[in-house]
Amino acid sequence: MSPKLEKFVDQLPILAALKPNRREADGDYYEITMEEFFQKLHRDLPPTRLWGYNRQVPGPTLDVIQDEPIKVKWVNNLPSRHFLPVDKSFLMPDLPEVRTVTHLHGGETPPPSDGYPEAWFTRNYAEVGPFFEREVYEYLNQQRATMLWYHDHAMGTTRLNNYAGLAGAYIIRDKYEKSLNLPSGEYEIPLIIQDKSFNRDGSLSYPKQPDNASEDLPNPSVVPAFFGDTILVNGKVWPFLKVEPRKYRFRMLNASNTRGYQLHLDSEQPFYQIGSDGGLLEKPVKLNMITIEPSERMDIILDFSKYEGKDIILRNNLGPNADPENETDEVMKFIVSKPLKEQDKSVIPKRLSTIPSLRANQISAYRNLKLVGSQDEYGRPLLLLNNKRWADPITEKPRLGTTEIWSFINTTAFAHPMHIHLIQFQVLERQPFDLDRYNEDGQIIFTGAPKPPEPNERGWKDTIKATSGHITRVIGKYGPFTGNYVWHCHILEHEDHDMMRPFKVIE
């Protein structure tokens, strides 16, 4: 358990945009180095050993313009040993302990730059994974303006590398969005939310492999979930932000390993959600509570104009059965104490964008994808997709440019945030079925009609909450690139153990 830490004593860090190392004829060139370093995460906590991009946790923000490609060389300068408990033998016994590969989550990226889990590399490229293709990644930025994020995606150690700090924001901007007069400049702030636990010396705490590991079995290291006992925003534990009495735009990302949040403000003021994973919604959605699962982004406007002089806490609803000692029911504090610099001329537009529905497209394939609880060859619990392991042959092969409906059939007892690389999709519906009956004889018996997605899920999404005992149907058009990608649960403990599958877009 973390030492007792006073809340709201550190200022929220603002994650400044990174300048390119140089401008080249075909786009800006960045070099971003992964290193081990120490950073102070709370006033009363000794500096914490972390892995960060450019010695920053979260990493520097990449702020780019639509249709202007950039290149990034992700340099691995990490030590050869992990400081978190690595289960060496679980998936692939011969993998080097420290391997990295960076994925741009939500990005429409050609395969050689997508950050395929087996395109990992070690320091100085001493060893590289079987899918490693290039040192310098290219991001085309030919997609809607939105906030994506980049994070480590190395085969089997994604949860540890992310927990150690390897994640950051990536914002694509366009002229249209600029014309909307949303809060901008210092009034537009990314909020990257994560949970972590600490030891007294400030070091990160992450559950070890159970000590019943036997000599003859690979270490049973299945950590099925991780819930930290502190909440960080932009790399500070329970920070505060002083704001002016006006509108702000917050670009929220849940970059936690497992934890989903149900956020609300103790002022009872509403959130105006203007965007989701893939950019602006058609119109703003007014919400008193927002649910954000791992890797989801929510573009939110908060209006503090009526709250001058007030303190407002962003709270996380833990439900009625929560342990009263659990302090993760608070996230951060807004202090409306800054004088208004100038009249707030920003707006919450009534109409934000147009989202052409994919429903009218001809459907080339319907895929039933079961989320199942299973066991590995040693009888240890494992969560799988369609009962297949990572290394099983590819089963999902959409044709380039065609539209498919994927049905995530969640037969487990909890929700999983399902993510598909390459595309932004649309949510069609969720339909409940009888979970008990399914678990007895594998029969799917619907217990209700399909329910439409929530109003704030009616835009473009790359990650969707697949609710327990429901089929969640999404429609997506596969392209514009062919090649190898992955789809997976974004609970990183699940993704690593073995809730991730390859897919391939074919000609």
Two tokens, residue 346: 């920003």
Q: Work out how close the CB of 305 gets to Cu ion at its nearest, in angstroms, rounded to a whole number.
A: 37
The entry of Cu ion, ligand C2O, none near residue 497 (CB within 5 to 8 angstroms by kind) is none
416 binds ligand C2O, rule: CB under 6 A = no
Say if CB 328 and CB 193 are below 8 A apart. Answer: no
Q: Give the Å distances, CA to CA, from 12 to 19, 192, 238.
A: 21, 10, 8
- Give the burial string for 100-110 (b: 16+ CB within 10 Å, else e): bbbbbbbbbbb
How far is the C-alpha of 120 from the C-alpha of 479, rounded, in Å?
24
Q: Work out how close the CB of 342 gets to ligand C2O at its nearest, in angstroms, rounded to a whole number.
A: 38
88 binds Cu ion, rule: CB under 5 A = no
Among 486, 491, 499, 505, binds ligand C2O (CB under 6 A): 486
295 binds ligand C2O, rule: CB under 6 A = yes
Q: Work out how close the CB of 326 gets to ligand C2O at its nearest, in angstroms, rounded to a whole number.
A: 27
153 binds Cu ion, rule: CB under 5 A = no
Residue among 470 and 494 whose Cβ is closer to ligand C2O: 494
**In sequence order, what are the beta bridge partners of 446?**
433
Among 494, 497, 500, 503, binds Cu ion (CB under 5 A): 494
Residues 6+ apart with CB under 8 A from 86: 97, 157, 160
Say if CB 387 and CB 374 are below 8 A apart. Answer: yes
103 binds ligand C2O, rule: CB under 6 A = yes
416 binds Cu ion, rule: CB under 5 A = yes
Q: Work out how close the CB of 441 gets to Cu ion at its nearest, in angstroms, rounded to a whole number.
A: 24
DSSP classification of residue 461:
B
- Site size toward ligand C2O, by CB under 6 A: 10
Q: Work out how close the CB of 124 gets to Cu ion at its nearest, in angstroms, rounded to a whole number.
A: 26
Phi-psi region of 212 (alpha: psi -120 to 50; beta: other; left: phi over 0): alpha
How far is the C-alpha of 65 from the C-alpha of 68, rounded, in Å?
6
How far is the C-alpha of 112 from the C-alpha of 119, rounded, in Å?
8
Among 55, 421, 465, 473, binds ligand C2O (CB under 6 A): 421
Phi-psi region of 485 (alpha: psi -120 to 50; beta: other; left: phi over 0): beta
Q: Give the Å distances, CA to CA, from 296 to 53, 200, 205, 212, 278.
A: 21, 31, 24, 36, 10
Among 42, 247, 264, 421, binds Cu ion (CB under 5 A): 421
Residue among 384 and 486 whose Cβ is closer to ligand C2O: 486
Q: Work out how close the CB of 359 gets to ligand C2O at its nearest, in angstroms, rounded to a whole number.
A: 26
461 binds ligand C2O, rule: CB under 6 A = no
Q: Work out how close the CB of 418 gets to Cu ion at its nearest, in angstroms, rounded to a whole number.
A: 8
Q: Which residue is nearest to ligand C2O (CB)?
A: 105
419 binds ligand C2O, rule: CB under 6 A = yes
How far is the C-alpha of 269 from the C-alpha of 502, rounded, in Å?
43
- Which of 27-35, 55-63, 307-315, 484-492 is the region at the interface with ligand C2O (rule: CB under 6 A)? 484-492
Q: Binding string to Cu ion for residues 102 to 121, with x set by CB under 5 A, is what?
A: ---x----------------
**In sequence order, what are the beta bridge partners of 388?**
385
Residues 6+ apart with CB under 8 A from 19: none
Residue among 312 and 385 whose Cβ is closer to ligand C2O: 385
105 binds ligand C2O, rule: CB under 6 A = yes
Residues that bind ligand C2O (CB under 6 A): 103, 105, 151, 153, 295, 419, 421, 486, 488, 490
Residues that bind Cu ion (CB under 5 A): 105, 416, 421, 489, 491, 494
